[in-house]
């Protein structure tokens, strides 16, 4: 029997981009990277677990902030090189800036305009100043 993880086209670093989407509204919350271990653990634990390239280790979304992403559905695109996780975002905040989504800037009149409010001050979310969990 073929391992489902072998069907994914991992990049040269053994990673695949993973997009987290709100399972109710369809809003894109964030994008991060996964390796084989993080994806297998995501399925096993039914919560989003990413690979932190900057820290070189597993990143259980919400481990610092409490903003866990509970997985509802996992999808693979037609080229088998992008994952979509349809999640329930606990606490309603996915972004380390304290916003609902990491995609809070809109291009208007030649500039990026911030259109989403900060729901919670990042200093109140992260202890010891962790900028990205």
116 appears as a binding residue in the annotation: no
Measured at the CA of 46, the angle between CA 123 and CA 117, to 5 degrees, comes to 30
6 appears as a binding residue in the annotation: no
C-alpha separations of 125 from 9, 98, 102, 110, 120 in Å = 35, 8, 15, 32, 7
3 appears as a binding residue in the annotation: no
Question: Using CA atoms, how far apart are residues 68 and 59, in angstroms rounded to an integer?
Answer: 11
109 appears as a binding residue in the annotation: no
77 appears as a binding residue in the annotation: yes
121 appears as a binding residue in the annotation: no
Query: Beta-strand (E) ranges in the chain?
Result: 16-22, 28-34, 49-52, 57-60, 69-76, 83-89, 105-108, 111-114
Binding residues for Zn(2+): 78, 95, 102
Binding residues for Mg(2+): 77, 79, 81
Binding residues: 77-79, 81, 95, 102
């Amino acid at each position: 029997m073929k391992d489902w993880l072998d069907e994914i086209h991992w990049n040269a670093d053994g990673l695949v981009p993973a997009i987290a989407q709100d399972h109710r509204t369809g809003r894109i919350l964030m994008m991060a990277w996964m390796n084989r271990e993080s994806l297998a653990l995501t399925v096993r634990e039914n919560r989003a677990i990413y690979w932190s390239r900057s820290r070189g280790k597993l990143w259980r979304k919400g481990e610092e902030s409490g903003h866990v992403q509970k997985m509802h559905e996992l999808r693979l695109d037609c080229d088998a090189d992008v994952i979509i996780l349809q999640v329930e975002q606990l606490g309603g905040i996915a972004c380390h800036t304290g916003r609902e989504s990491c995609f809070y800037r809109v291009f208007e009149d030649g500039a990026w305009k911030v259109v989403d409010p900060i729901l919670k001050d990042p200093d109140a979310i992260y202890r010891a100043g962790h900028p990205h969990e």
